Amino acid sequence: MGDADTDATEPADDSSAGSPPSPPAGRSWKWIGLFGGVGFLILLLDQITKALALAHLTPGEPVNVVGSLLKFNLIRNPGAAFSLGTGYTPYISAVQIIVAIGVVYLSRRLGSAGWAVAFGLLFGGAVGNIIDRIFREPSAFHGHVVDFLQTPHWAIFNVADMAVTSAAVLLVIQTLRGIKLDGTREQRR
């Protein structure tokens, strides 16, 4: 009954036990490593692409990459998605920091590749934008996020934003598939 997201040895359903069975030794480290690797990769890609955008793009001068389907258009976003909440940058920063800490805390329970990748995407994306909010102008915790990817009829975004959105989609998929954070499947009745 192996699944691509769980080890081939799924724990047996033992309803008489008081607590859920613990994952096999070493299993959680594998998923924590995947989580960390994905998170680090996203953070690295996000920071490199933002540095390149700042070095090569001029605000207000969009560059067509794939016709009008994809443009590079540099902006500095003081708010959240769609520039909402521009006066609440410190609060947005605090929420992102709490999310990042929560993801690290919950990562100890990872038992599935899907959850590990989703958590890595979420962590890398959140930290990528946290770095902007803390270290970029105009001041600490009021910094503007560097956005530079534009598609028709959508907000201008960055790699961190793509990662957070992808994480949300993966989390919904895992939930709909009935795969819990620890890799076990929900028993459907």
What is the C-alpha separation between 162 and 168, in angstroms, rounded?
A: 10
State yes or no: is 161 an active-site residue.
yes
N-terminal to C-terminal alpha carbon distance within the chain: 18
* Identity of residue 188: R
- The pLDDT, as a whole number, for residue 26 is 53
φ, ψ (nearest 5 deg) of residue 81: -55, 140
Selecting among 5, 46, 147, 182, the annotated active-site residue is 147
What is the C-alpha separation between 152 and 182, in angstroms, rounded?
A: 39
Residue 43 and residue 127 in contact, taking contact as beta carbons nearer than 8 Å: yes
Four-residue CA torsion sign, 38, 39, 45, 48: negative
- The pLDDT, as a whole number, for residue 162 is 97
Span 52-103, pLDDT tens digits: 999 999 999 999 999 889 999 999 998 777 667 777 888 888 899 999 999 9
Render each residue's pLDDT in the chain as its tens digit; 189 residues.
Answer: 444 444 433 444 444 444 444 545 456 889 999 999 999 999 999 999 999 999 999 999 999 999 889 999 999 998 777 667 777 888 888 899 999 999 999 999 999 999 999 999 999 999 999 999 999 999 988 899 999 999 999 999 999 999 999 999 999 999 999 999 999 998 876
Q: Which of 35, 13, 154, 155 is nearest to 145 (CA)?
A: 155
State yes or no: is 13 an active-site residue.
no
- The pLDDT, as a whole number, for residue 87 is 78
pTM above 0.75, yes or no: yes
Place of tokens 């793509």: 162
Q: Which of 59, 52, 94, 90 is nearest to 76 (CA)?
A: 59
Selecting among 5, 46, 132, 161, the annotated active-site residue is 161
Q: Which of 32, 34, 13, 11 is nearest to 22 (CA)?
A: 11
